Amino acid sequence: MSILVLNAGSSSLRFTLFDKQLKELYKGHVDAIGQKHCSFRHYLKKGEIDTTIKIKNHDEAIRFVLKKLREDKIITDLNEIKKVAHRVVHGGEKYVKPTRLNAKVLKDLDKLSALAPLHNPANLLTARACQKMLPHAAHYAIFDTAFHAALPEKAFLYGLPYALYQKEHIRRYGFHGSSHKYVSTEAARFLKKKNLRLITCHMGNGISLAAIKNGVCLDTTMGFTPLEGPIMGTRSGTVDPGILFHLLKKQSPEKLHAMLQHESGFKGLSGIGSDIRDLWAKPNSPGSKRTFGVLCYQMAKLIMSLTVPLGGLPDAIVFTAGIGENAHYLRAQITQELAPLKIQLDPTANRKNATVISKPKSGVKLLVIHTNEELQMARDLP
């Protein structure tokens, strides 16, 4: 028996096939679905392999992945896939546990698409298409918001009329749940301690931080949408809402939304691009310096603020995802901004992206842990 985990973005599809013991059998992704430069990359023992392909939509993308699994002799028959986990970004307040997908649940989840218009429609489209192709398998939705479901009211409410929460469910939800859960679990395993206070920093294209005590998330930086928090690749992060009203006098809500989502963050501030590697290639350019400065300062301020829900200093700060796992120069700069925590960074370990990057006498331990959202999703399956 094998388990397929699917993580669909608006124009991408990541997948991992696991065996019963949750050992990875095959892993890959289809990128730029529906575009000229659509590509398929898969990771086998030999390493990564890239191919350019023609794929029109998510339906074709799954069909392609299922064909590859057979062509590459990972499975001989689709019936071997017994369970499928679908990442669904927004579960609202109702869906806080992995949920078996049926027509009624899917219809209910459609309603939540309004809360995550950039993500949920692609997630659900993929789930529906996959259900048709693998009708014998049990399909489950795993929600990105679920890990944050225990946030107390004081952490999830905004200072808006309370009726907006009651009637329209406007509140902090938090995202990247599978990643925060995975790295916090791995940190506890690594430190051989169950009762831990952790601040986890997921720093990829999107960036979010979480305060986790004894495995329970008590607060997080993303909010009603994944726009809140520090600056990100192309997302603005938190801005004064007054700025939006000022800008709305001159531009449409759609244009403003597109600017906040796609033209801001590292890209907008640096004028170089959204990939931190392009900025690091020009470390002394004013655009890179300014972006690194703002990002590291904001990260440090948010880390300090998350000591409040933890009720004290964390046992460890965990860095993860593309930037968190690799950008040693940013981890070093963030630590410099965290003077109150009396952190002692171990520069050699940091440069090597080692698991422990702080010195033994550091005020707070610093860890780098590779995230694995797909494995967490497979672990969460009933």
Catalytic residue among 31, 144, 219, 380: 144
For ligand AMP, the binding residues (CB under 6 A) are 204-205, 233, 275-277, 321-323, 326-327
Residue 139 vs 267, nearer CB to ligand AMP: 267
- Cite the DSSP H helix spans in 240-372: 241-248, 253-262, 265-270, 276-280, 286-305, 307-310, 321-326, 328-337, 347-351
Structure tokens at 292: 């690194």
- Please answer whether residues 230 and 298 qualify as being in contact, where contact means their C-beta atoms are separated by less than 8 angstroms: yes
Q: Three-class SS of residue 137?
A: coil
N residues, the chain = 382
Q: Whole-angstrom Cα distance, residue 353 to residue 367?
A: 9
Residue 81 vs 232, nearer CB to ligand AMP: 232
Structure tokens at 136: 């014998």
Kindly provide the b/e burial profile for residues 357-367, where b requires at least 16 CB atoms within 10 angstroms of the residue's own CB.
Answer: bbeeebebbbb
Least separation, in Å, of the C-beta of 228 and ligand AMP? 17
**Burial class (CB within 10 angstroms; exposed 0-12, middle 13-18, buried 19+) of 312:** exposed
Phi and psi at residue 339, to the nearest 5°? -50, -40
Residue 139 vs 328, nearer CB to ligand AMP: 328
Least separation, in Å, of the C-beta of 207 and ligand AMP? 9
Least Cα distance to 302 among 168, 154, 199 occurs for 199
Kindly provide the b/e burial profile for residues 215-225, where b requires at least 16 CB atoms within 10 angstroms of the residue's own CB.
Answer: eebbbbbbbbb
Residue 204 vs 309, nearer CB to ligand AMP: 204
Q: Whole-angstrom Cα distance, residue 31 to residue 41?
A: 8
Residue 98 vs 204, nearer CB to ligand AMP: 204
Least separation, in Å, of the C-beta of 149 and ligand AMP? 23
Nearest residue to ligand AMP, scored by beta-carbon proximity: 322
Residue 129 vs 295, nearer CB to ligand AMP: 295
* Residue 144 designated active-site: yes
Residues with catalytic annotation? Answer: 144
